[in-house]
Amino acid sequence: MSNNKPLNVEIRKMNRTGIYQSFLSGREMSKQELARDLQLCIPTVTRNIEELMGEGLIRPSGVKENTGGRNATAYAIVNDAKTALGIEITERQLTIAALDLLGNMIFSETFKADFSDTPDYYCELGRLIKESVLNAGLWEKNILGVGIGLPVLVDSNRRKIIFNKIIDLESSVYEKLSEHIPYRIELFNDANAAAYTEIWNNPDRKNAFYLMLSNNIGGCFVLDHTVYTGDTQKAGEAGHMTLIPNGAKCYCGQNGCVETYLSATNLSNLTGGDLRQFFLELNQGNKSFSMIWDKYLDYLALTVNTIHALLDCDIILGGYVGGYLEAYMESLRQRVEGLNSFGDRAGFLKSCNCKKAAIASGAALNFIAAFNATV
């Protein structure tokens, strides 16, 4: 006689996961609706609902009106049954964010903090995390982990830095962070994390390239809803494509990289480091800034056209500059269309939806997604 026990266990696991994931849209659902949608029997749904309620993941949320009989109890996910933290570390500041199981932001705060690879810096970071958790009223036991977004390339295990020329830290940063952060930690490339936030918020977008226009230029290719990192974790590094042969020197050691022409500092340095002030003056008709901005859009159009010629997918413009691009998208699309060899319209060009804490959010969302997939 064959042993069907492993198969039965797998089926029960699939049923449980399917029922839990039905609530991830934020909908309230009755047992009858779950049974109908998932083609399960009521006893199976009831058993799993009771288990999930026992674990604090599902709660009764009222009743569903039923014109044909008794009203049915409605159930909903407990959004904050689990939470995850995300941190973005840059040279001059750090951002801490917390998200719930539906990806809703519980809080986000940015602190001025000059990065230094010293015990004092990591100690202060640990203090700010603990303070943020306390102020937000989060239960420490419910925190799934802390994702840390950095302007570096990291290995596939998300523990070791494999390339870094932007901020001065060692490959052993994981161990240093672990000494001061009492949760599970994973490291993320900043652009990959930000791209993940965009895909989370746009589940119908299957493939896309995220171009991060911040103080450094990053990129991420999302293929079939998954961040594609390449064979050696270096995929998507659009900032180091050659834009102008023998052009301006890049920090990477090469000349003419996209990085040197599209960095947000090219704009913010004109207003004492305040990018918002640059766009305020631009909108007020500053002629000098208008000329600089026109040239910036020309360089951006060249970059976008190259990426689209290779990948033929939506291109999402994010980062510091991306947050201001909405008003200039038509002008940018016209420039891109003028460069396109196939006469394509530039409807593939999108401005980012997440304009606040995108990197920190994406770093946290990886923990949320992993948990939701395995309940």
Give the tens place of pLDDT for each residue, 330-342: 999 999 999 999 9
CB-count exposure of residue 26 (10 Å: 0-12, 13-18, 19+): exposed
DSSP, collapsed to helix, strand or coil, labels residue 226 as strand
Which residue segment(s) compose the domain that 31 sits in? Answer: 5-77
CB atoms within 10 A of CB 351: 17
Instruction: Give CA–CA dist 40/19, Å, rounded.
Output: 10
Q: What is the pLDDT of residue 4?
A: 65
The reply to whether 94 and 72 lie within a common domain is no
The reply to whether 332 and 347 lie within a common domain is yes
Q: What is the pLDDT of residue 3?
A: 60
Instruction: Give CA–CA dist 161/154, Å, rounded.
Output: 4
The reply to whether 345 and 208 lie within a common domain is yes
Identify the band that residue 7 occupies on the pLDDT scale cut at 50, 70 and 90: confident
The reply to whether 209 and 303 lie within a common domain is yes
Per the structure, the count of domains in the chain is 3
The reply to whether 148 and 87 lie within a common domain is yes
The reply to whether 9 and 125 lie within a common domain is no
The reply to whether 34 and 63 lie within a common domain is yes
The reply to whether 130 and 145 lie within a common domain is yes
Q: Model confidence over 283-330: pLDDT tens digits?
A: 999 999 999 999 999 999 999 999 999 999 999 999 999 999 999 999
Boundary-marking domain end, from 35, 57, 77: 77
Boundary-marking domain end, from 17, 46, 77: 77
Identify the band that residue 141 occupies on the pLDDT scale cut at 50, 70 and 90: very high
Strand ranges, E, within 44-138: 58-64, 72-77, 83-89, 93-99, 105-112
CATH number of the domain residue 278 falls in: 3.30.420.40
Q: Model confidence over 231-246: pLDDT tens digits?
A: 999 999 999 999 999 9
CATH number of the domain residue 31 falls in: 1.10.10.10
Q: Model confidence over 200-226: pLDDT tens digits?
A: 999 889 999 999 999 999 999 999 999
The reply to whether 180 and 309 lie within a common domain is no
Identify the band that residue 172 occupies on the pLDDT scale cut at 50, 70 and 90: confident
Q: What is the pLDDT of residue 1?
A: 47
Q: What is the pLDDT of residue 315?
A: 98
The reply to whether 308 and 368 lie within a common domain is no
**Range from 2-16, 43-57, 157-171 carrying the lowest mean pLDDT:** 2-16
The reply to whether 174 and 230 lie within a common domain is no
The reply to whether 217 and 121 lie within a common domain is no
Boundary-marking domain end, from 43, 77, 111: 77
Mean pLDDT to the nearest integer, 133-138: 95
Rg of the chain over all Cα atoms, to the nearest angstrom: 24
The rounded mean pLDDT for the chain is 94
Share of the chain above pLDDT 90, in %: 89
Question: Is residue 24 within a helix (H) or strand (E), and if so which, with residue range?
Answer: none
Strand ranges, E, within the chain: 29-30, 58-64, 72-77, 83-89, 93-99, 105-112, 143-150, 153-154, 161-163, 185-189, 208-213, 217-223, 226-228, 314-318, 349-351
Q: Model confidence over 75-122: pLDDT tens digits?
A: 999 999 999 999 999 999 999 999 999 999 999 999 999 999 999 999
